[in-house]
Chain A
Amino acid sequence: MIQFLLNQDLIKLEAVAPSLSILDWLRIKKGKTGTKEGCASGDCGACTVIVGDKKQGRWQYKSINACLMLVGSLHGKHLVTIEAVSKTDFPQLEDLHPVQKAMVECHGSQCGFCTPGIIMSMLALYLNHQTYPGKLAAIHALGGNLCRCTGYSPILKAVEKCFEYPRADHDWQSATQLLENKLIQSATPFLVEQTRHFYLPQNLAELVRLRAEMPNTRLVAGATDLSLEFSQQLKESSSLISLTQCQELLSFQSDQSGIFIGAATPYSEFVGEFCKIYPEASELFERLGSCQVRNAGTLGGSIGNASPIGDPAPLLIALNASIELTGKKGKRQLPLDEYFIAYKTTQLADDEVISGFYIPPRPANLTLACHKISKRIEDDISAVCLVLALSTDDSQINHARVALGGMAAIPARAKQVEQALLGQTTSLVTFQTAASLIHQDFSPLSDVRASSDYRIKVSENLFTRIWHENFGRIDTQAQSLTIQPSATRVNHAAL
């Protein structure tokens, strides 16, 4: 059995399919139709709901896609839907919450179908900020909510305006207290339908035991990719083991020996700390999926899924990260670039789980460059993701790792490019010579996102950009233009 809160109500669930999404549970089983299905693939945000989680003694709320998150992962959480945002069930203007009132006053809804999802994303932002956090934060909060009618201007205005009204906070304390009192951590929470289970092991020992007992059972974390098999391909789910409540996998540690990131830690919970050490990676994470996806998605999920187009893998490979696998026989570590074997095939054994990632300490003279190319800035999958990590000694390159996504069946290093960089000075010629070897390292596919030629060409050209952004100003010998780093990229349209 699992227990959680739906708005003010305590819910106990046991006999449901492991693949049941929060969206289908709300709309079909509960008749709560305020939450809309736009795409059922996590790309439009119409089904956005808020999930609260008690952390460090405090309930913290974040937006997620109800179509992607599985209902089983709600155990111990507080699910907040559009129905609970205003004061009454059928509100008048004066009963509305500030985020709703602002949307009405700014004329932020037209057809209204995306609106409940947008309200929930706005509410998550509101719950986490006392004052308007600025336009960039608004864009990051709403990047995963598509609106086809308004062109977003009034919505962006509403995000600003909702903070101008007197503060209105919901009183959920009695409900959350009720849930806290009911939660008794004894057996592993689970769901079952016929023979198919959804397990929520609470610690690593339990997780490893379940994994060893049921090697054919799928592992799931944020479910941001796995759910598509259920909603898009209509596959029957096997039993699932969720990693999302396994305490040892929910951590981020950083010290002189480097960084450890627990495999099931959602991006939104470690990216801030990570980017204090690697600020160059901020944009990559800001553009990884949407806010809803970053609130659910995990490194373990992305790497475990072995997608050729996930953005974290090139970053971690370039940073020389290792992956930690835990099984009955204990833990083992291997370099991440050796973890991937072929398309969606990895070194993970049947009785193992990915428990975390180690990143060595940041070298003193590291130059890190992370570049993502996609058709759209917000919530798009990379045509090419290129991460370059260099260490220099007296402007000579003594260490180079270049990893790309979208260029092969697995995220991979550009080894000939790396060789061409090693031992050279950080001149534009060095970079362009190295770039010209990209096509020897990769023969990318042409697909819906980009042609093979474009992928090669843009990867090559990124080396020119990287040189100008990192070395252009200090390259006094070169016979070429030196330009400001700010002039190497187009501005974000909205800023």
Chain B
Amino acid sequence: MRHFEINKTELKTSQVGKSIKHESAVKQVSGTAHYIDDKPHPSGGLHGYPVLSNISCGRIVSIDTREAEHSEGVVKILSAADIPGENDVGPVFKGDILLADDKIDYHSQPILLVVADSYEAARKAAQLVKIEYKTEKPQLDIATAINNKDWVRPPQVMSLGDAEAELAKSKHKLNGQLTIGGQEHFYLEGQISTATPTEDGGMFVQCSTQNPTEIQHTVAKVLNRPFNFITVEMRRMGGGFGGKETQAAPWAALASVAALHTGKSVKIRLARADDFKITGKRHPFFNTYQVGFDDDGLIEAANIEVNGYCGYSPDLSDSIVERAQFHADNAYYYPNAKITGNRCRVNTVSHTAYRGFGGPQGMMTAEQLMDDIAYYLGKDPLDIRKLNLYRPGRDTTPYHQTVEQFIMQDMIEQVEEKAQYWQRISQIKAFNQSSPFIKKGLALTPVKFGISFTVQHLNQAGALVLIYTDGSIHVNHGGTEMGQGLNTKVAQIVAEAFSVDSETVLVNATRTDKVPNTSPTAASSGTDLNGMAALNAANTIKQRLVEFISRHFEVELAKIKFVDNQVCFGEQTLSFAEVVNLAYINRISLSSNGFYSTPKIHFDKEKGTGHPFFYFAHGVALAEVEIDTLTGENTTTRIDILHDVGNSINPALDIGQIEGAFIQGMGWLTTEDLKWNQDGSLASFGPATYKIPAVGDTPAEFNVELYDSANPETSVFRSKAVGEPPFMLGISVWSAIRNAIASITGYQYAPDLDAPATPEVILAAVEKAQAWQNEHNPLTTEDLQDA
């Protein structure tokens, strides 16, 4: 069931709240939606391809490019020495090297760029470069990094009360650990950029990026040009998921360097296997906890350490590990908490943003805690979760932000009742007792996800609204379209402002010369920020139109109404286009920019306290799974989701985000298995070995509903961000698999289950649970027959 209908009495709108189709849908199903590689490459246009290291750690001793230079079609081979500006594309902190000239820090690190007259020629020549190295032993182990305090950025602590002292006093204490795998974004369109020199020594860059402004800045720094010489255009991405927040920059920068040296358009497109090897992924984490609680399972103190495998450089790891810390409480109150975050250096590619931005990895430990406490006390995990929820009076997070909206209890109760949690739990227990091999599991997990960039200054956006004299509207904003429907929502918002049909509004390519100084489309903030900026721009023009009509027709301002593509005032009605044209004749400006900055937010990094989030988005998922205790095979058979998007701007798009995010989260924790070889090279470097969910993995029963509740904060039309939060609903699947394994022991034992829970990991956990059971409650043959 996909519930697209919303029935909100308080919201009387014409465009916002409608399930309008994605603005590119017709083009996408016809193959006419252009991605960068589909645009005609100018005649004489060239192709670049990087030469990659085949060691993980060491120094370059010599480079021999003779054979490659003479390879057919090769125009130039560029090295670090050919970079006119900085050889560093670090987005926040230095350290992300564009082309290695001495030190190698990870396997497949780019060293040179081959420029040739075809994609194939560039790739083939890149293989012909001979490089000698002095190889050193790569540091790949997180325990070693922790022991040696080998960080890419300093550790950080958030604390509330005195966790260590209170832990000592608690009647019950548990501790545990969890290794959580990373995740390849697997955007269907790989990394790609085309750079074309412009006449004043600048560069026009088309790039599949979530962050056009940062591409502009990076290219400018690498070329040693002022920002205004660089223009970046981004129409649409074939998927991003965080993987094109910073990871698009090297290819844009290298294409620009090559374009500068050749005077030609240069395109760089990574082949899928190399995209896997060279670009950062979701951080794997290793988390530990100690928790103290009372007889009921109410938590008294929690001491949690989250350790991110950051790779060789900082990239965005400072904020990503911080967000893991911010979400190590998930929806639960820890009266005393110490949350430590370590940013561990390992000799791999630098891990990066991925939907949830560390939040999911932190949240896993909160959910592990709940299950562990429940199995320890012999209680149902849902009861433990409900008991520990934030509620009035128990509302301070470990970073001292006060939780102000308490809808989680109600959301859980709705799912509990509608999806019949308690009936199903008892049915499942009965099933498991009579089923020797197949075990079912059920788990309900909540998500409370903080919305805002935790770097305060990023919480701003701009938009440009242009109205033409036929009444058609063109909008540019700083956000980028990667499939999430941002442009569709922004069109609905602007259409709503003028009460015109959303088809009247065209939102297309994001360009740095239309809207400057934009933030990445990340942190789920696309609509919150850009929608509000566009609304502000539209309202500026609307205000001018209203004032103009009032003057021109001598009517009171209050009597002028925009309704159904028309403007009504007094007895008169004009079409929107007529009003616009009349305003033009009377020399009224029909364009405006708009700006928005999120209120209320602040955070003190040193103290680890503040109000980093404008609001929280909530969700609840109930997962039912089956596991095979002979093989570890597993399936998710039913999912019930209730998710809070505030007042939905477009229920179809929001549900699309929720369903897609859930499946992506489920994939992260089940089939998506990143494996590295001992030499630090990636073993699972393509879709043949790295398995994202396929069509048969979508649960047969997949119920998704939107929770009926407006955002209490003044967000755009009281909606809420939706990109990331539902990703973490996938944790319910992992928790349900633990529940199925725990059934082997009569739910007395909390099985360790590292993620991803592949069949192999599950089978190992099953065997451990069986061994525990045999040790603690040896069953007799009579018992078996009774069962």
Contacts and interface: CB of A to CB of B under 8 A. Distances in A.
Interface of A: 27-28, 31, 33-41, 43-44, 46, 81-83, 85-86, 89-93, 96, 100-101, 103-105, 107-116, 119, 138-139, 142-157, 232, 234, 373, 375-381, 383, 447-451, 454, 457-458, 461-462, 464-465, 468, 479-481, 483, 487-495
B626 A91 contact: no
A395 B132 CA distance: 66
Given A148-B187, A151-B662, A376-B671, A96 B695 contact: no
A112 B763 contact: no
A35 B698 contact: no
A34 B695 contact: no
B188 A38 contact: yes
Interface in B649-668: 652-653, 655-656, 659-664
Nearest to B28: A112
17 contacts: A33-B31, A36-B189, A85-B30, A86-B30, A101-B29, A107-B653, A107-B656, A114-B238, A115-B29, A138-B695, A148-B186, A154-B656, A375-B758, A451-B760, A461-B631, A462-B631, A481-B784
B700 A461 contact: no
B613 to A, nearest CB: 26
B483 A490 contact: no
A109 B25 CA distance: 6
Interface in B674-728: 675, 683-684, 686-689, 691-700, 702
A111 B29 contact: no
B63 interface: no
A494 B660 contact: no
A96 B632 contact: no
B239 A111 contact: yes
Contacts of B24: 109, 112
A85 to B, nearest CB: 7
B605 interface: no
A36 B695 contact: no
A329 to B, nearest CB: 38
B220 interface: no
A119 B31 CA distance: 9
Interface stretch (B393-401, B431-439, B555-563): B431-439
B26 A93 contact: yes
Most chain-A CB neighbours within 10 Å: which of B186, B655, B693?
A: B693
A77 B32 CA distance: 25
B633 interface: yes
A112 B33 contact: yes
Contacts of A81: 31
Interface stretch (B34-42, B83-91, B357-365, B587-595): B34-42
Interface of B: 2, 19, 21-22, 24-35, 37-38, 40, 119-120, 123-124, 127, 185-190, 236-241, 271-273, 435-438, 482-485, 626-628, 630-637, 652-653, 655-656, 659-664, 671, 673, 675, 683-684, 686-689, 691-700, 702, 758-760, 763-764, 781, 784-785, 787
B189 A113 contact: yes
A46 B34 CA distance: 14
Given A41-B686, A376-B693, A448-B689, A491 B37 contact: no
B265 to A, nearest CB: 16
A49 to B, nearest CB: 11
Contacts of A142: 695
A104 B26 contact: yes
B763 A454 contact: yes
Contacts of B626: 490-491
A46 B188 contact: yes
A41 B696 contact: no
Given A96-B26, A454-B760, A458-B630, 18 more contacts: A33-B38, A36-B35, A40-B272, A81-B31, A91-B30, A107-B21, A110-B22, A111-B239, A114-B238, A146-B694, A148-B239, A150-B659, A151-B659, A377-B696, A383-B759, A479-B781, A483-B436, A489-B633
A152 B40 CA distance: 31
Contact of A153 (B27, B239, B659): B659
Nearest to B189: A113
Most chain-A CB neighbours within 10 Å: which of B482, B663, B687, B702?
A: B687
Contacts of B695: 138-139, 142-143, 145, 147, 152, 155-156, 378, 494
Nearest to A379: B694
B30 A143 contact: no
B694 A112 contact: no
Contacts of B25: 103-104, 107, 109, 112
Nearest to A464: B630
Contact of A234 (B34, B123, B694): B123
A148 B692 contact: yes
Contacts of A448: 673, 675, 683-684, 689
Contacts of B636: 493
Nearest to A447: B683
A494 B696 contact: yes
B237 A111 contact: yes
B759 A111 contact: no
Given A34-B30, A378-B696, A465-B630, A151 B664 contact: yes
Contacts of B120: 234
B688 A43 contact: yes
B627 A107 contact: no
A92 B368 CA distance: 50
A482 to B, nearest CB: 10
A488 B760 contact: no
A278 B242 CA distance: 47
Contacts of B660: 110, 148-151
A488 B40 CA distance: 55
Nearest to A155: B695
B688 A458 contact: no
B707 to A, nearest CB: 19
A272 B392 CA distance: 63
A458 B758 CA distance: 13
A381 B688 contact: yes
Contacts of B236: 111-112
B238 A91 contact: no
Nearest to A116: B31
B688 A41 contact: yes
Contacts of A493: 635-637, 696-700
Nearest to B187: A148
B189 A111 contact: yes
Given A31-B40, A96-B29, A492-B635, A146 B692 contact: yes
Most chain-A CB neighbours within 10 Å: which of B2, B27, B239?
A: B239
Q: Which 9 A-B pairs have the closest CB atoms?
A: A34-B31, A111-B483, A113-B238, A112-B28, A151-B663, A82-B31, A110-B483, A43-B687, A33-B38
Nearest to B726: A151
Contacts of A376: 671, 691, 693-694, 697
Most chain-A CB neighbours within 10 Å: which of B30, B32, B37?
A: B30
Most chain-B CB neighbours within 10 Å: which of A46, A479, A491?
A: A491
Given A378-B695, A378-B696, A465-B630, A44 B22 contact: no
Given A111-B189, A151-B659, A152-B695, A490 B635 contact: yes
Given A91-B26, A112-B28, A458 B632 contact: yes
A367 to B, nearest CB: 18
A468 B94 CA distance: 61
B696 A151 contact: no
Given A111-B238, A458-B763, A493-B635, A152 B663 contact: yes
Most chain-B CB neighbours within 10 Å: which of A103, A148, A449, A487?
A: A148
Nearest to A43: B687
Nearest to A449: B689
A461 to B, nearest CB: 4
A492 B659 contact: no
A194 to B, nearest CB: 12
A112 B689 contact: no
Contacts of A31: 40
A85 B702 CA distance: 31
Contacts of B702: 151, 153
